[in-house]
Amino acid sequence: MHMPAYERDPFATSLETRILKCGEEKGRPFVVLEDTVFYPEGGGQPCDLGTVNGVAVVDVQKREGELLHFLGATVPEGPASLRLDWIRRFDHMQQHTGQHLLTAVAQDQFKWETTAFHLGAQVCDIELDAPSISLQELGRLEEAVAAEIRAHHEISARWVSPEAYGQEPVRSRGLPEGHAGDIRLVQIAGVDLNTCGGTHLRHTGEIETLKLLGTESIRGGTRLFYVAGGRARLRLGAHENRNATLRALLGAPDEDLVNALQIKLDQLLALERRSRKLEEELAEGQAAALAARPEVLVEAHLEHRDMAFLQKLARGILGLDPAKVVFLTAETGGQGLFLLSAGEGSALDVAAAGKALAAILGAKGGGAGKTFQGKAPSLAARAEALAQLRLPRD
C-alpha cells in the first residue's frame, strides 16, 4: 500500500516529486502527483494549501483513489516542488488532535458520546449526545482535558487489516462508505484508539491548550464549541486588544467594563425615548401648521427624516382635516423618500396617483388603501411629480 508523505511524516513541509497527470474539472485545473504532502479534505478536516512549482494549491480532493490537487493556474507534467502552508496544517493538527482528546475524555469521564465534528475556520465544535451541559460540567470537562494535555501522551498512527481491526478496542467503528482494505487507527497512548485518516500531533503536549467556548442545543443533543493551541492564544490576544479599546472608551478597568457599558446603554435608551417623544411633539406641531393651510394639497419636504416620521406627520394632518391630500418627501442617507396619502373625505385615487409619482421619480414603491409610499435614488424630479397632482382647490 502506497503511503503518501503527509501520512509518513505529518511534519514534512516540502517535497520534491513529479506531476503524473494534468486535467480540469469544472474549469479548475488540477494535477495528480507521484507523492504529496497535501492532505485532502475528509473526516471533518479541511484540505491543506500551499504551492506546486510556485502555483497556489487551492483545494485537494480524493476522487476514485486519486488525489486531485486543484491549482490557481495550469502546470505541465514533470518535476514538482511542493511547499506546504505549515501554519494552516499545524493549526488543523492541533484542532483535530484536540477533538480526539476532547471526545475521549467526554465519553470516558462524562458518558457523553460524540456524534459529529466540525473543524471551522475560526472555531471548532463537536456534537454530544448530552441533552444539556451545565457551566460546572463544562469547567470539569475542560480541567480533565487540560490534565491529559499535560500528561504528554504519545500519539501514533498505524494500519491494520480488517480481521485485526475487529479485535482492536476501537472507540468508534464508523468507516467511510465503500471502504475496503486496511484501516488506519490513530492512538493517544492510554487514552484513545480511533479510526481516522487525518493528520495529528506527536503527543498531547503539542495541543498546548484547549478552551471550551460554550454550547447550544441541537437535534436533542448539545453542540460544544472549542479552540485549541495557537487559536486559543490568538483568541486571547484579540480579547485583550478589544478590552484595551473598551477600557479607553468607557474609562473603566476590565472588571467594571460590563457595568460601565450597561450604564451607557441605559443612558442611550433614555435619550432614545426622549428623542421619540420630542419627535412626536414636533410631528404634532408640524401637522397642525400644515393642516391649517387652505390648499387641498398639503406638501412639504423635510431633511434627515425617515419614513416613520413622514407617516406620523401625514396621519396627524389627515386626522385634523380628512378632506386633504398629503405629499411629503425627505432625504436621508443619500436616498429620497416620498409618501402620498389622502383623507377619508378625498376622492383621489391614491394607488394610480402614487404609481404616476413613482414613475416620475424613478422610484420603487407601493401601498394600500389611501396611502402610497416609496424610495427614490434622488428627488431631482420632485417639482415635476408635484405638478402631476391635479387636485381641486377650495
Q: What is the pLDDT of residue 173?
A: 63
Give the class (CATH, top level) of 282-387: alpha beta
Q: What percent of the chain has pLDDT over 90?
A: 85
pLDDT digits (tens, 9 = 90+) for 88-126: 999 999 999 999 999 999 999 999 999 999 999 999 999
- Within 8 A by CB and 6+ apart from 224, the residues are 102, 106, 125, 126, 127, 128, 133, 138, 212, 214, 215
Is pLDDT above 70 for 391?
no
3-state secondary structure of 318: helix
Is pLDDT above 80 for 176?
no
Q: What is the pLDDT of residue 28?
A: 96
Give the mean model confidence (pLDDT) for residues 210-219: 95
Inter-CA distances, 268 with 28, 242, 264, 281, Å: 53, 21, 6, 20
Can you give the residue ranges of every domain in the chain? 5-84, 90-237, 282-387
Work out the angle between the directed axes of helices 86-110 and 230-250 (0-180°, nearest 10): 90
Place of cell 480541567: 143
Name the average pLDDT for the chain.
93
Is pLDDT above 90 for 222?
yes
Give the mean model confidence (pLDDT) for residues 65-80: 95
CA dist., res. 201 & res. 377, Å (int): 58
Give the mean model confidence (pLDDT) for residues 37-53: 95
Does 2.40.30.130 match the CATH number of domain 5-84? yes
Give domain 90-237's CATH number out of 3.30.980.10, 1.10.150.120, 3.40.50.300, 3.10.20.600: 3.30.980.10
Give the mean model confidence (pLDDT) for residues 263-282: 93
